[in-house]
Structure 1
Amino acid sequence: MFSVSVRDHMMIAHSFNGEAFGPAQRLHGATYIIDATFTREELDANSTVVDIGTAAAELRSIVEALGYRNLDDDGDFAGINTTTEVLAKTVADRLAVRIHAGAFGPGASGLAGVTVTLRESHIAWASYERAL
């Protein structure tokens, strides 16, 4: 399996519901480093997994839509704790929609999967992996 990864970052504000979250129930900020890894079994006609520039631009557009905002005010997350895990899935699912819509070009039709990892710090991160 071949893979290519691109990286970006975002800053958000949010709060969590539930005693399990302790002080994080209050509004707080988080800064994430985001890695999106695209996989495929065979390289495309250009001997690539995916165009890196296109992948980086598509990740950037998704991150821009989420970043510098209070996610508590976003209707897409109504009633949902926007944990690192939830945000990793959200980014992966939004990338998948863009891939299936053709935004990554015709060569992306051979992609097998995408994994998104959000790093909260050098000691804590979460990932979501999905098939395409």
Structure 2
Amino acid sequence: MFTVTVRDHMMIAHSLRGEVFGPAQRLHGATYVVDAAFAGPELGPDGILVDIGRATEVLHEVLGALTYRNLDDDPDLAGANTSTEVLARVVADRLADRIAELGDGVRRLVVTLHESHVAWASYERQL
């Protein structure tokens, strides 16, 4: 299995519902380093799984729809508790919707949101 990973970041504002979140229940900002790992068993005729430059562009575009926004006001996320895990799934699903732009060899996608240098969450999906 081949894997190509690209990285970007996003800065968002949000609040989280539930006592477990303590002070994060109030509106606050978060900056995530985001890794998107594309995996597949075969390389294309050019000897690549995905074009790294194009994968970087698509990830940046997907994150651009979330960056510098208060996610509490985003109608697409209404009712969602935008935890790191949930946001990893949102990014993965939005990337999956655009996977055809990257080639037809990708079979698995893993998105990891690094909340800090010691904590992160990932979401993995088959394509």
Q: Normalised by the shorter chain, which TM-score bucket?
A: over 0.9
- The residue that corresponds to 1:3 in the other structure is 3
Unaligned runs of 5+ in 1: none
Deviations 1:75-112 (A, max 9, x none): 1111111000011001110010011xx322xxx21211
Identify the residue that residue 31 of structure 1 maps to in structure 2. 31
Deviation at 1:113?
Answer: 0.9
The corresponding residue for 1:124 is 119
Please list every run of at least 4 consecutive aligned residues from structure 1 whose deviation after the TM superposition is greater than 2 angstroms: none
**Partner residue of 2:101?**
103
Q: Higher helix share goes to which structure?
A: 1
Identity fraction in percent:
63
User: Hey, what does 1:70 align to over in structure 2?
Assistant: 70
Task: Please name the residue that 1:93 is paired with.
Answer: 93
Q: Which amino acid aligns with 1:79?
A: G
TM-score, structure 2 as length reference: 0.97
For the residue of structure 2 that corresponds to 1:80, the secondary structure is: coil
Deviation at 1:28, TM superposition (A): 0.4
State the partner residue of 2:83: 83
TM-score computed with the length of structure 1 as normaliser = 0.94
Unpaired stretches in structure 2, ≥5 consecutive residues: none
- Provide the C-alpha distance between the structure 2 equivalents of 1:8 and 1:44, rounded to a whole number of angstroms: 25
Equivalent residue, structure 1, for 2:57: 57
Distance 2:36 2:83 in 1: 18
Counterparts of 2:80 and 2:64 in 1: how far apart (Å)? 20
Deviation at 1:47, TM superposition (A): 0.7
Deviation at 1:18, TM superposition (A): 1.1
- 2:87 and 2:45 mapped to 1: Cα distance? 33
Q: Distance in 2 between matches of 1:13 and 1:90?
A: 15
SS of alignment partner, residue 98 of structure 2: helix
